[in-house]
Chains A and B, each alone.
Chain A
Amino acid sequence: MPAPRSLRRQNPITFVLAGILCIGFFIFFFSSGDSSTAASGSEKSGIGKTASNVLSPPSLPFRKSKANEPAPAPPIVHYYMNNLTTSRNPVENQETVLILTPLARFYQEYWDNLLKLSYPHDLISLGFIIPKTKEGNAAYTALQAQVTKTQSGTKSKRFKSVTILRQDTESPLQSQSEAERHKMENQKARRAAMAKARNSLLFTTMGPTTSWVLWMDADIIEYPPNLIQDLAGYDVPIVAPNCYQRYYNTEKKANEIRPYDYNNWVDSPTAKELAAKMGKDDILLEGYAEMPTYRSLMAHMYDASADPGTKIKLDGVGGAVLLVKAEVHRDGAMFPAFPFYHLIETEGFAKMANRLNWESFGLPNYLVYHYNE
């Protein structure tokens, strides 16, 4: 008889599965409705989470149009830049951070640290510029693998957007090795090329919704996960932590740290005199015995026992790690690729920001670590 058979099918498992399916559908419909309203709401406030067209700021992810339908006309997008804040509490105010890295070599530790940042990743956009050299190609491949992995991984670790630029370098140095890179005669050309790379990266990736720009060199491999919140907490236009390096002291047979970035300094009368005597196209460099400037270097001010929150005013900054309010860059403060008051690149940037009435600060007791080659 058919009746007993149909009864046999209605066992509890069927009911449970049907129930789950129903609940599933309900949740599915409700959740999708929620997300769409949230998206339109955020567009109104001007801090758009996503763009609807591929023609959009790279600091925003965009929604792909379906392949089989004709592309709609690009929309007219309003950005309410008056509502953009850069405050002491960036997380509360949902402020977006753009992390920019000129990349020549890829270090896994760099990426791992980036992933450890405690700042909400959906407020972080990344930007990279990689030279078109053999070394650059290797770095590009490594970076791409990591980016793909992260961006298709769990949602909480995914960054809001990632932009990767490639560009030919104008003055390709034969080697990116430390000794070659730091030779004094190579410095001007190298730093001019570096400045141009930084500017290219900055001006093409900074979107109308970006609040903060964090400059982070590719060879910075250790810092506290709260870096962004800590630096933003000072609420100053430009802030640089102290960049150190871990090394093995063969004499003492111990792991120690030593100062690395000498570009964070307070100006000295000697340096000013030197500059006054210089030709228009000459530059002052820091950290070279041939050119004693007697500037006060933040690198030498580290005191483990002192207040870790100490902040000092700087006249020149380095680019290893640098948190900048986006409005400083928007006003026009960039990295001069030419001698600007006899300064170039990041040091020139501090000077230019200063000309635009933005001040730079340094944190002598807040350490970040550079890779040791």
Chain B
Amino acid sequence: MLPLHASTPKGKMHRTAYSNGQAAYPTLGGSGGTFSIQPHKFQPRSGPTSLRNRKLGKRLLALFAFCATVLFFVFPNLRPNLGPSPLSYLTSSDDSQLETVRYYDLNNVQGTARGWEREERILLCAPLRDAAPHLPMFFSHLKNLTYPHNLIDLAFLVGDSKDNTIQLLTDKLNELQADPEPKQQFGEISIMEKDFGQKVNQDVESRHGFAAQAGRRKSMAQARNWLLSAALRPTHSWVYWRDVDVETAPFTILEDLMRHNKDVIVPNVWRPLPDWLGGEQPYDLNSWQESETALALADTLDEDAVIVEGYAEYATWRPHLAYLRDPYGDPDMEMEIDGVGGVSILAKAKVFRSGVHFPAFSFEKHAETEGFGKMAKRMKFSVVGLPHYTIWHLYEPSVDDIRHMEEMEKERKAKEAEENAKKERMDKIKDQFDSKSSDWEKEKAEVQNMVQKAKDEAKQAEKPKEVEPKKEEPTKEEIHEARGAEEKKKPQPPK
């Protein structure tokens, strides 16, 4: 056994080492000649010269690798950008995934009547200032828009806000984008924060006072221009301006306005009123047609003056879109206008691209949206209003209204108090007479009993005629003294 054992390790070693093209296991028929483990039988693997060459090659390779690594990590600027190939993951860790060049053809974004079919993008702009109370309403409108949401880019400019507008806006937008349905998610969303240091208060009274108008309109215009110039992209075909305080608007408003295929288009803007103020009222008076009177007036004013519409100080006699509304009119009817109101403007992006903006200076004696209309007209764009297509602005009571409402409230309270007093008196009277009426009840019951008895007696005696006069007597007295009892008494006679 031992010699056998001694021979096996040799064979095993052979197996683990080099096969050298020979079978590792001794074949059954193998002779000792072919299966030899003599060391001198091995061929040298390579000659000394080739070994040297290989070593040199290895060194060169190592040197090159070292240099490349140093260059690669120490001077990242020298890394080649191989584009989005799989190789680029090796060459540059992250800037290959960075796209720096963009190509656009502006002929594709001119805006057409059926933008939703051609996947035309809309930029929805909303300038905000202390707008937190209106945001929930605004976002419910956004969610309801029927235009494909992924084609709508949202841009907000929040300026000089003292409330939590930004926080609320961010929360609402996060909620909007978290929608699991990708079709419900909106496109690019940007919030620009920029304070212009406006002194004018945003409350209704100071906002609409005549003296504050020119300055206010100019700074509003500035805010709009900042928003637009930062948010307009080469991909936009349309721009939609929308105030956050719109209360009611059709969900299809974007398509409805777009269908007209005009360069600038606005709906009619009214607002609901409490019944005592007439139920409804034209709101946006900035959409109008130019009049001779106004042009003549404009010539008399100095360079920086701004004509504002809807104030007695400037009687312009212009036809206003708002006053031309017929609730039963054709909503598709169009009207050429010169000044536009800013509550809801749909304009082709090419209008803004060509340079039309909201003048923050007196442009042909107008500023902001009215100046925008004027400038669009000057550049031969079509500017149109829809007199019978109406959206409703939120009703915010003015100071006068509030005073009036307070008065009304007071009146109502006085009336209520009076009524209460009256009621109390009546109750008192009732209380006082209640005991009596119950007395009467008792007596009545007694009388009825008596009547019954008498009837019975009469029946028995067959003399019914004597009963009636007896019954009438107490009824008469009741009527005189307590009205309440009258009703109870009335059904009596048939008995």
Q: Which residues of A contact B (CB under 8 A)?
A: 1-2, 13, 16-17, 20, 23-24, 27-28, 31-32, 35, 50, 53-58, 61-64, 70, 73-82, 132, 147-148, 151-156, 158-168, 195-196, 199-200, 202-208, 329-332, 334-338, 352, 355-356
Contact B83 A206 (CB under 8 A): no
With beta carbons under 8 angstroms apart, the residue of B58, B102, B182, B225 that contacts A164 is B102
For A207, give its contact among B222, B230, B358 (CB under 8 Å).
B230
* A-B pairs, 8 with minimum CB distance: A55-B188, A199-B355, A155-B77, A208-B230, A334-B355, A81-B194, A152-B81, A167-B106
Q: Which of A13, A77, A203, A337 contacts B62, CB < 8 Å? A: A13
Task: Chain A residues near B178: list those with CB within 8 A.
Answer: 73
Interface set of B (CB-CB < 8 Å, partner A): 13, 16-17, 58-59, 62, 65-66, 69, 72-73, 76-84, 93-95, 97-107, 153, 170, 173-174, 177-179, 182, 185-195, 221-222, 225-226, 228-236, 352-355, 357-362, 378-379
In contact, A332 and B222 (Cβ under 8 angstroms): yes
Among candidates B59, B97, B100, B185, residue contacting A162 with C-beta atoms closer than 8 Å: B100
Beyond A63-B98, A76-B173, list 6 extra A-B contacts (CB 8 Å).
A16-B66, A74-B187, A82-B194, A155-B78, A334-B357, A337-B354
* A154–B102 touching, CB < 8 Å: no
B359 and A17 within 8 A (CB): no
| Complex-state Cα separation, A65 to B192, whole angstroms | 25
Residue of A nearest to B185 (CB): A73
B101 adjacent to A162 (CB under 8 Å)? yes
Taking a contact as CB atoms under 8 Å apart, the answer to whether B354 and A147 are in contact is no
Specify which chain B residues have a CB less than 8 angstroms from the CB of A16 in the assembled complex: 62, 66
Contacts of A338 in B (CB 8 A): 378-379
Shortest Cβ distance from A197 into chain B, in angstroms? 9
B104 pairs with A132, CB closer than 8 A? no
Write out the residue numbers on chain B whose beta carbons fall within 8 Å of the beta carbon of A331. Answer: 222, 225-226, 360
CB contact under 8 A between A81 and B193, given known A20-B69, A155-B76, A166-B105: yes
**A74 near B186: Cβ-Cβ < 8 Å:** yes
In angstroms, how far is the closest chain B Cβ from the Cβ of A243?
Answer: 23
* Contact across chains for B73 and A31 when beta carbons are under 8 A apart: yes
Instruction: Decide if A28 touches B73 in the complex (CB within 8 Å).
Output: yes
Kindly report which residue of chain B lies nearest to residue A32, judged by CB atoms: B93
Residue of A nearest to B150 (CB): A74
Across the interface, do A330 and B230 meet the contact criterion of CB distance under 8 Å? yes
Chain A hits for B361, CB < 8 A? 332, 352, 355-356
- B192–A61 touching, CB < 8 Å: no
B93 and A62 contact, CB distance less than 8 A: no
Q: Separation in Å of the B188 CB from the closest CB of chain A?
A: 4
How far is the CB of B222 from the nearest CB of chain A, in Å? Answer: 6
Which residue of chain B lies nearest to A5 when distances are taken between CB atoms in the complex? B17
Q: In the bound complex, how far is the Cα of B474 from the Cα of A316, in angstroms? A: 108
CB <8 Å contact, A74 and B177: yes
* A56 x B188 contact (CB < 8 A): yes
Sample (19) of A-B pairs whose CB atoms are under 8 Å apart? A1-B13, A35-B93, A55-B153, A56-B188, A58-B102, A74-B185, A74-B189, A78-B191, A81-B230, A155-B95, A158-B81, A164-B103, A202-B229, A203-B228, A331-B225, A332-B221, A332-B222, A334-B357, A337-B355
A70 to chain B, nearest CB (A): 8
C-alpha gap A49/B170 in the complex (Å): 22
Contact A166–B100 (Cβ < 8 Å): no
Residue of A nearest to B380 (CB): A338
Given contacts A20-B66, A58-B102, A162-B102, contact A329 B354 (CB under 8 A): no
Q: Which residues of B contact A17 (CB under 8 A)?
A: 62, 65
Q: Is the CB of A79 within 8 A of B193?
A: yes
Residues of chain B with a CB closer than 8 A to A162's CB: 100-102
Q: Give chain B residues whose Cβ lies under 8 Å from the Cβ of A196.
A: 353-355
Residues of A within 8 A of B103 (CB): 164, 166
Cα distance A305–B81 in the bound complex, in angstroms? 47
Distance in angstroms between the alpha carbons of A20 and B466 in the assembled complex: 135
- Chain B's closest residue to A129 (CB) is B106
